[in-house]
């Protein structure tokens, strides 16, 4: 009994700072592992759990779906971790948790096992936490009810397209309202380990948080651990939009004529 107690005591680090260093050391290992694991994954997504209690690090990285090249994804993960380190206060070697949402990569690490949490309830840092969000300060102009309604439809349809996409749960879209209002581009993505239903629920939960003030904005983005969306008036992703929305056509008649004439042939 006395021997066991002695062994336990001797394994306790003498200073609290030493315990934090172990965690930070684990974070560095996790970051290096994630660069490789994420970029070599076919869906450019990876999770890593590393270390012994109480210094276990839970982490994930996801490259944006329009990054097709493995080395570009590796660079994105590397650069995002570098930004995370630059944002850490200089007096600290690392924080106990950090969620970074950048244009081309999501990088999250935490002492809390947020990988185990339900995709529907996962906030930015911990269960029930608030999502990451950033909004364009400009409001839409012109026919405001029409434009905001179309942007709403664009967000919903892009989310649905992403949820049903495999193996990456990722989709892009564009809205051309047919008015002088500029085109709006959209993007949605979930971590590819989510089912279509969980992905859609995750995105719908975010979309449901958009209040009437934010619904007027020309662009914005929201993210939690396993899903995010973005929309804006400039094209911020590579490749052709996967869905295109136009203004509701007031005259579906020409299409009917076409199909009639083809059946008459």
Ligand X SMILES: *[C@@H]1O[C@H](CO)[C@@H](O)[C@H](O)[C@H]1NC(C)=O
Q: How many CA atoms lie within 13 A of 192 on its CB side?
A: 19
CB of 144 to ligand X, least distance (A): 9
Asked if residue 141 binds ligand X (CB under 6 A), the reply is no
Cα-based distances in Å from 90 to 27, 81, 84, 85:
16, 15, 12, 9
Asked if residue 36 binds ligand X (CB under 6 A), the reply is yes
Q: If residue 103 lies in a helix (H) or strand (E), which one and from where to where?
A: none
Asked if residue 139 binds ligand X (CB under 6 A), the reply is yes
x/- track of binding to ligand X for residues 178-217 (CB under 6 A): ---------------------------------x-xx-x-
Residues 6+ apart with CB under 8 A from 46: 34, 37, 38, 60, 61
x/- track of binding to ligand X for residues 89-128 (CB under 6 A): ----------------------------------------
* CA torsion through residues 151, 156, 160, 162, sign: positive
Q: Which is nearer to ligand X, 121 or 148 (CB)?
A: 148
- β partners of residue 127: 122
Q: Which stretch binds ligand X (CB under 6 A): 105-113, 131-139, 177-185, 194-202?
A: 131-139
- β partners of residue 97: 110
Asked if residue 138 binds ligand X (CB under 6 A), the reply is yes
Region 54-83 residues binding ligand X, contact defined as CB under 6 A:
none
Asked if residue 24 binds ligand X (CB under 6 A), the reply is no
Cα-based distances in Å from 77 to 19, 31, 144, 194, 205:
26, 8, 39, 21, 27
Residues near ligand X (CB under 6 A):
36, 40, 133, 137-139, 211, 213-214, 216
């Amino acid at each position: 009994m006395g021997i066991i107690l002695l062994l336990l005591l001797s394994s306790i680090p003498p200073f609290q700072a030493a315990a934090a260093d172990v965690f930070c050391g684990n974070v560095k290992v996790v970051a290096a592992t994630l660069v490789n694991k994420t970029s070599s994954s076919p869906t450019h997504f990876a999770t890593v759990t590393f270390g012994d209690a109480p210094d276990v690090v839970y982490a994930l990285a996801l490259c944006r779906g329009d990054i097709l090249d493995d080395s570009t994804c590796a660079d994105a993960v590397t650069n995002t971790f570098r930004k995370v380190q630059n944002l850490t206060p200089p007096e600290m070697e690392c924080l106990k948790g950090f969620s970074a949402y950048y244009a081309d990569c999501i990088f999250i690490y935490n002492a809390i096992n947020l990988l185990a949490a339900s995709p529907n309830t996962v906030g930015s840092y911990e269960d029930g936490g608030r999502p990451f969000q950033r909004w364009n300060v400009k409001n839409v102009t012109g026919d405001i009810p029409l434009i905001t309604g179309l942007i709403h439809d664009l967000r919903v349809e892009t989310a649905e397209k992403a949820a049903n996409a495999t193996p990456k749960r990722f989709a892009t879209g564009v809205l051309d309202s047919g008015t002088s209002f500029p085109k709006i581009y959209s993007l949605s993505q979930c971590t590819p380990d989510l089912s279509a239903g969980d992905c859609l629920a995750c995105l719908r939960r975010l979309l449901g948080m958009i209040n009437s003030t934010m619904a007027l904005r020309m662009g914005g983005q929201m993210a939690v651990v396993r899903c995010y969306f973005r929309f804006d008036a400039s094209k911020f992703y590579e490749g052709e939009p996967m869905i295109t929305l136009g203004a509701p056509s007031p005259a579906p008649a020409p299409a009917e004529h076409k199909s009639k004439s083809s059946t008459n042939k």
